[in-house]
Amino acid sequence: MWTRGYRDEVWSQITAEKWDLIVIGGGITGAGILGEAARHGKKTLLVEAQDFSSGTSSRSTKLVHGGLRYLRQGQFLVTRKSVKERERLMSEGKGLVDPLGFSLAAFPGDQMPKWMYGVGLAMYDALAWKWAHEAQSKAEIIQRIPPLEGSKVQGGYRYFDAQTDDSRLVVRVLREAVRHGGTAINYVRADHLLRTAEGKVRGAVLRDMTPDGTSRTAEVEAKMVISATGAWADELRGQLGKEKRLRKIRGSHLTFRADRLPLAEAVSLLHPRDQRAVFAIPWEGVTILGTTDVDHGDLDDEPAISQAETEYLLEAAIKAFPSLELTHEDVISTWSGVRPVIDTGKSDPSKESREHAIWKEDGLLTISGGKLTTFVVMARDALAAAEEELGGLGPRTRIFDAGPEEVKWPEHLGEAARARLMGRFGPEIQEILDEGDLARPIDGSIALWSELKHAARAEAVVTLADLLLRRVRLGLLLPNAGLDQLPKVRAIAQPELGWDDAKWEREEKAYRTTWKKAYSSPT
């Protein structure tokens, strides 16, 4: 699947097939729609203008959460759906979606008193039908989170949510959708919509956007076109003359080495400036600090953290962890994602609803807003809205295919590593393990060299940024963009990708430029 030559194979079939559905957008929402449609027998093509998950779905805070902060804003429906989906994802996606302990820290000056945290968490747990929170004294919370020592923390509460590798979640959902009969291809843009004489959307003109450029285009028709393009949805709707509905909100993150900000579990606190919730989260061997909520402008360039956002997040770190004296120099990487939310004109971006919305306009069905946690609910809602054209869906099935009953595990991989790999690769796990010495961790990372080889060979990698920022994520997890590991990365990946030396050197230069512009710390 997705090995060398797959793009030519798809392009040879793209106009010959009779498609039920074209899905535009290869983030988690589009992936979920493809998965549900394919599992229920709909002949479906998904196209993504850049790389799979390259938009918001690789740039989240990595949380699969019920949205505790949305309770504070009265968004009970969003929270109720989210906690239910969180529980299901943890049950079916162990190793990819895992429980994460949180310490909610209370400080002097917080607008919400400590007792209100307890009320909110009681409601949160009630929505999930489980009691999983407890009060913590100052001594107890510092014992659990030692970096809080020296701060003015007064105590707080402990509760649970979940986390994931967002980009790997998208890849697994897509690959399983393809195994169930769907078709997915990245770097294919829907240039413009095809319409009947009456003005109803009947398909799209697709263009191959691979960096080397083949100038391929195709007119592809389908019974229904669904736009799952997230923050870009208004651009496609604009082709139909529709008014904009979305507000583009940027959320940015800082990444620190785990030994510089060591956390056994996550910390949630209210920012001293505006009382927004900010998280410090252990993830994949590093610690994430985020996120911001600011209005974003042009979508043509990759979003990047601003100096103001960096200062904002460091201000939260100083409040929670003053003894660590974290500065810009401690940041090993950053990332920013643009969230699409329904624009209701609120002055504070954080108060816009995270509920998703569906619009059916002149034959184009658009789904936008929502949260990563509820991607299956969003997918089924979108397909239900297209029932007239596509027919109904059957009962909901599993989100993920089960892995093999027996796996030949190398002895050096512990229980946590085995769970992580099974969660990411499921039925394909043995391919990752049958690589001899390559089934060992990359220096400074918990990812295996065999994961990198598999990605280069069979995960639709078109650019080096695809490989290092989304498939294996060394650009986020290692200092200096992971460039210290690049010679070995090249030795393993270049033969699998089939790139000559000139192509590799162009890609390396482009990767350095991208990382510097959108993933490094502004100084």
Lowest mean pLDDT among 171-175, 296-300, 309-313, 496-500: 296-300
pLDDT tens, residue by residue, 263-274: 999 999 999 999
Strands 266-270 and 246-257: unpaired
pLDDT at 272: 94
pLDDT at 259: 96
pLDDT tens, residue by residue, 338-351: 998 887 766 666 66
pLDDT at 348: 65
| pLDDT band at residue 305 under the 50/70/90 scheme | very high
pLDDT at 522: 86
E strand map for 228-309 = 246-257, 266-270, 277-283, 286-290, 294-295
CB 230 within 8 A of CB 296: no
Q: Which two tokens stand for residue 27?
A: 């983030």
CB 54 within 8 A of CB 64: no
| pLDDT band at residue 112 under the 50/70/90 scheme | confident
Report the percent of the chain where pLDDT is more than 90. Answer: 82
What's the CATH fold of domain 75-161+247-340? Answer: D-Amino Acid Oxidase; Chain A, domain 2 (3.30.9)
- For residues 414 and 116, the model is more confident at 414
* Encoded amino acid at 469, one letter: L
pLDDT for 355 beyond 80: no
E strand map for 242-380 = 246-257, 266-270, 277-283, 286-290, 294-295, 331-342, 356-361, 364-369
pLDDT at 134: 84
SS (H, E, C) 437-479: HHCCECCCCCCEHHHHHHHHHHCCCCCHHHHHHHHCCHHHHCH
Identify the CATH assignment for 415-518 out of 1.10.10, 3.40.30, 1.10.287, 1.10.8.
1.10.8
pLDDT for 201 beyond 90: yes
pLDDT for 319 beyond 80: yes
pLDDT at 36: 97
| pLDDT band at residue 82 under the 50/70/90 scheme | confident
- The domain locations on the chain are 6-56+167-245+353-390, 75-161+247-340, 415-518
Backbone angles phi and psi of 86, in degrees to 5: -55, -45
What's the CATH fold of domain 6-56+167-245+353-390? Answer: FAD/NAD(P)-binding domain (3.50.50)
Averaged pLDDT, 84-112: 92
CB 465 within 8 A of CB 497: no
6-56+167-245+353-390 and 415-518: same fold? no
Backbone angles phi and psi of 137, in degrees to 5: -75, 175
Number of DSSP helices (H) and strands (E) in the chain, helices first: 18, 18
pLDDT for 71 beyond 60: no
CB 464 within 8 A of CB 508: yes
Angle at 316 between CA 311 and CA 317, to 5 degrees: 95
Buried b (16+ CB within 10 A) or exposed e, 165-195: bbbbbbbbbbbbbbebebbbbbbbbbeebbb
